[in-house]
Amino acid sequence: MTAEPTLKPERPFFSSGPTAKHKGWSAANLKTESLGRSHRSALGKSRLKHAIDLSKEMLGVPEDYLVGIMPASDTGALECAMWTMLKPDRRATVAAWESFGNVWIQDAVKQLKLPKLTTLDADYGEIPDLASIPQDNDVVFTWNGTTSGAKIPDTDWLAKDREGVTINDATSAIFAMEMDWAKLDATTYSWQKVMGSEAQHGMLILSPKAVARIEEYDPEWPLPKLFRLKKGGKINTGIFEGATINTPSMLATEDYIDALEWAQSIGGRKAMFERADANAKLVKDWIEATPWLRNMVADPAKQTNTGVCFVFQGDWYDSLSEEDKAGVPKKIVKLLEDRDVGYDFNGYRDAPPSLRIWCGGTVEQEDLKRLLPWIEWAYEQVKNG
C-alpha cells in the first residue's frame, strides 16, 4: 500500500463556501474604527461606500451600472431581483443545472407563480440548451454551478439588444471569470464565495435597463422591506451609495474590504482569474491522470475554475451498493479532516457522491499540490478497508 504522505497543506481550507481567507489574513489586520458605530454615521457609510466603489472598480462594472449591498447573501440579492423585476404578463425562463439554480426555479413556480414561465434544467455536469431561450424572454440563470462544477461556456446565447432582462447568479464565478456586463441586467454574488469573506451580505449589480424595469413596475405580490428598492416611485439610489436597507455587520464589511484590497495588491481581478485558472488546471490534470476519478463535467469548455467537482469510477467502485458508494467520499474526507490535511471538500449533499475542491484565487497552489497525494492515500485506505 502507498505510504501515508508527510507533507500537509499549510492552509487546509478547501470549502466551496465560505471559502479560504487569503494568505496572510489576520483579524488583527482588519480596521475596526467603524465597529460600535452606527452604519448611518459618516464613518460607517463611508466604509460601506468604499466596499461598493472598490467592488465596482475591481470588477470593471460599467460606470452607469449601480452596485449595492444587500442582506441575506447571494440568496437575498438574487431573490430581490426576481421579486422586483419578473412580471406575470411577460414570458420568463429560469435555467438550472444544479441545486441552487433549482431553488430559483422553485421560487418562480411556487412563490411568484409566473403564468408564462418556462423552465430549463439538466443533470449534474450538464448545461441545458440555453440557445433555445427566446431573446424577448426574461431569463434567470446561474453563471457557474456551485454544486456541479458546470459553468456557461459563453454568452453567445444572449443578444446585447435583447428585449428581456437577464438575472445572473454569479456567486461562484465573480472574481474568477470575466462578466459580460453588456448582456447582464441584474448580477448577484456573496462576499463569502470567491473572496473568502464573511457571509450574510450579498451584492446586487443593476444595469440601466434593470433600473428602468424596477421603476416602471410595481409587483402585485407583497414585497418584504428587505426587497424594496424604490423610494417615491424611483430607484432608491442611497442603497447603492452605502445606505443599506437594514443594519449590516461592519466587521464583515471590513473583512470584505480587506479581501478586496489584498486582491487589488496582487493585480486585481485579472490576477484572481489567473490564480483560479492555474489552481483548477492542476486539479483537473490530476483527475485526468487518475483512473478511478472523472470530472463531473465531461465537456472541458463547461468545466469551472472554482469548485471543481469529481466523481469515482472503476470496477471496485461500480461494484458497490448505492449506500456504500455514497460513503466513499465521506470516508475520504473524514480521514483527511482528522489529520488536519483538508477541510470541507466533500461534494454537495444533493449532488452525486463526489468530492469538490475549491480552486478560487484565495487558495494557494502549493496547498493543492500537497492535498492531492493525501486523497490518493485515503482512497486506497477506503478501498482496502
Residue bearing cell 489567473: 274
Q: What is the pLDDT of residues 107-158, one digit of tens each?
A: 999 999 999 999 999 999 999 999 999 999 999 999 999 999 999 999 999 9
Q: What is the pLDDT of residue 283?
A: 98
Q: Are 12 and 350 in contact (CB under 8 A)?
A: no
Other beta carbons within 10 angstroms of residue 62's beta carbon come to: 12
In this structure, what C-alpha cell is assigned to residue 246? Answer: 437594514
Burial class (CB in 10 A: 0-12, 13-18, 19+), 363: buried
18: DSSP letter? S
Q: Residue 1 pLDDT more than 80?
A: no
20: DSSP letter? P
Q: Are 103 and 238 in contact (CB under 8 A)?
A: no
Residue bearing cell 447568479: 169
Q: What is the pLDDT of residue 226?
A: 97
Q: Are 156 and 127 in contact (CB under 8 A)?
A: no
Q: Reduced to 3 states, what is the DSSP secondary structure of residue 216?
A: helix
Q: Residue 4 pLDDT more than 90?
A: yes
In this structure, what C-alpha cell is assigned to residue 275? Answer: 490564480
Residues 366, 228: Cα–Cα separation, whole Å: 45
Dihedral of CA atoms 270, 273, 279, 283 in degrees, nearest 10, equals -150
Q: Residue 216 pLDDT more than 80?
A: yes
pTM over 0.85: yes
Q: What is the pLDDT of residue 360?
A: 98
Mean pLDDT, all residues of the chain: 97
99 pLDDT tier (thresholds 50, 70, 90): confident
> Worst-scoring range by mean pLDDT, 97-101, 180-184, 278-282?
97-101
What are the phi and psi torsion angles at 104 (to 5°)?
Answer: -70, -30
**Mean pLDDT within 147-172:** 97
Q: What is the pLDDT of residue 296?
A: 98
